[in-house]
Amino acid sequence: MIQYLRSLVFVLHIYVMMLVIGVVFAPYAIVSKNGARAACKTYSRYVFWSMRWMVGLKAEVRGEVPEGEVLIASKHQSFLDIMMIFTALPSAKFIMKRSILWTPIIGLYAKRLECVPVDRGKRGAAIAKMVRDVEAGRASPGQLIIYSQGTRVAPGTKAPYKVGTAVLYEQLGQPCVPVATNVGVFWPRTGIMRKPGTAIVEFLPALEEGLDRDTFLSRLEDTVEERSDALMREGGFEPNGVH
């Protein structure tokens, strides 16, 4: 009960701080995408700091963090892995649902960070436009993040890896860095409870460009799932459902 109450206070206060930081940085973000990036990283680091002492949860990033133009294909378990990946990378941008653009505060920052909004069934056209914009200098290069399972997946739950990641990998012609995580063990995709421990995001060795679609998807899924299972066991959760 005490941990639940601490979690409740933590959750409420980080949403208040999202509004506060979003409004304070808004003028800077409107005139500069560096301002938008600074706001999002400031907020994320505030969350990491506050969750340590409020609910006993630490954030740890492992592996070699890429700095050049690469595709990031990550496992997605909760809002926490979004913040950890974004803060670790120098110039991150996400593929996201277009409806997010109309969300107060978040929509503004998503636009300024040059995230790639997509409509259902039209991802290919959106990515092609992004590639053209980067080549023409209308958009800045960076690390493009996609969640290969398409949604948040709870620890111990299996979900297929969608072919869209392979299509994007082919279109971009860039290496792909897989990312594993165990954050859902401590910060679930739904609910209030936040558990003490160490939430980990790990950047894994890159998959080279030029792989055929089936080989790429198979290697990506095997790599991310195997390492994520190991991280979840490290966090005290057995992926097969036995704690």
Tens-digit pLDDT profile for residues 191-243? 999 999 999 999 999 999 989 999 999 999 999 999 999 999 999 999 875 44
pLDDT in tens, 148-159: 998 899 998 989
Distance of CA 110 to the CA centre of its chain: 13
Residue whose entry in the numeric block shows the structure tokens 């994007």: 168
Confidence of residue 129 (pLDDT cuts 50, 70, 90): low
Question: Crossing angle, helix 79-88 and helix 33-55, to 10 degrees?
Answer: 130
Is it the case that residue 180 has pLDDT exceeding 90?
Answer: yes
Give pLDDT tens digits for 52-100. Answer: 999 999 999 999 999 888 999 999 999 999 999 999 999 998 887 777 7
Other Cβ atoms less than 10 A from the Cβ of 124: the count is 13
pLDDT score of 130 more than 70: no
